[in-house]
């Protein structure tokens, strides 16, 4: 399951990995916490909310993943108990083994808060006394959390972030690009707000930079595995198992070998 903040965040950061998991036989799920209602200089918020929901549904269809509706609006992605309870209910329904979400630190608070919400909702899956909205029964099962790269591949203080693993998205980059292109309302907005002249090219640039960092792949997505306490076993790494060495480099493991660990 991929949980991100805004419509198009999954496509920028996580879609290649979702596609590969789908191709490997996994059931995949797609949820943006925010509706994306503020991302335009042209459309009113109520109209844009509907438009971006449709775009996200089209993108999810391209990715072959199950779409879940958003829970709130832009700049209202707060770490609050109501949102945790709503998100926890969805996680209890899906019961994901792999949870893909944002970097713990990123350039904007919506991303950071989406990450925190996903972590707490996943952690609460087995807590019988934690109430969800709507009520859903707790379950006992492992979930391994993987954090994607921050936007621009750097933290808010401009420092480069190095992934713990690289997933080869070269073979699915065209499909990933098609999914991002489904968010047609975003081209003018990103041009104006972030000086991203082509959001498709920007996504490709991120992928190529990560591919170069991997030392092996043309395009890649980067992941860092969350500490296991309360989520899974210390060595549980289902993403590596699912994709194998053909599609994934565990950089943390290779660095440990270089250091003699």
Task: Report the distance separating Cα 98 and Cα 242, nearest Å.
Answer: 10
**Coil, helix or strand at residue 185:** coil
Grade residue 163 by pLDDT with cuts at 50, 70 and 90.
very high
pLDDT score at 257: 42
The span from the CA of 251 to the CA of 168, in Å, is 13
Q: Specify the pLDDT at position 261.
A: 45
259 pLDDT tier (thresholds 50, 70, 90): low
* Stated pTM of the model: 0.94
pLDDT reading at 20 higher than 50: yes
Return mean pLDDT, the chain.
93
Please list, in sequence order, all residues whose beta carbon lies within 8 angstroms of the beta carbon of residue 37, skipping any fewer than 6 positions away.
Answer: 45, 46, 48, 49, 52, 73, 74
Task: Give the 3-state secondary structure of residue 89.
Answer: helix
Domain 2-258 sits in CATH 3.40.220.10: no
Give percent of the chain with pLDDT exceeding 90: 85
Mean pLDDT of 207-228: 98
Quick one: pLDDT at residue 192? Answer: 60
Average pLDDT over residues 109-123: 98
């Amino acid at each position: 399951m991929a949980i991100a903040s805004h419509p198009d965040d999954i496509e920028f950061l996580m879609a290649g990995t979702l596609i590969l998991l789908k191709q490997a036989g996994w059931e995949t799920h797609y949820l943006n916490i925010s509706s994306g209602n503020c991302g335009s200089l042209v459309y009113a918020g109520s109209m844009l909310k509907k438009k971006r929901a449709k775009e996200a549904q089209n993108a999810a269809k391209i990715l072959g993943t199950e779409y879940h509706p958003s829970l709130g609006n832009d700049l209202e992605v707060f770490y609050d108990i109501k949102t945790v309870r709503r998100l926890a209910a969805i996680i209890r329904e899906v019961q994901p083994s792999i949870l893909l979400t944002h970097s713990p630190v990123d350039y904007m608070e919506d991303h950071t808060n989406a990450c925190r919400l996903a972590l707490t909702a996943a952690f609460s899956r087995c807590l019988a006394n934690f109430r969800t909205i709507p009520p859903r029964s707790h379950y006992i099962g492992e979930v391994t959390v993987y954090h994607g790269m921050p936007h621009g591949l750097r933290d808010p203080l401009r420092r480069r972030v190095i992934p713990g693993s690289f997933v080869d998205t070269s073979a699915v980059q065209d499909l990933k690009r098609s999914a991002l292109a489904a968010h047609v309302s975003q081209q003018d907005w990103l041009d104006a707000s972030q000086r991203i002249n082509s959001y498709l090219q920007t996504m490709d640039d991120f992928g190529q930079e990560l591919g170069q960092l991997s030392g092996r792949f043309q395009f890649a997505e980067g992941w860092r595995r969350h500490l296991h306490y309360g989520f899974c076993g210390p060595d549980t790494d289902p993403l590596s198992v699912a994709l194998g060495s053909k599609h994934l480099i565990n950089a943390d493991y290779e660095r440990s070998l270089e250091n003699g660990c």
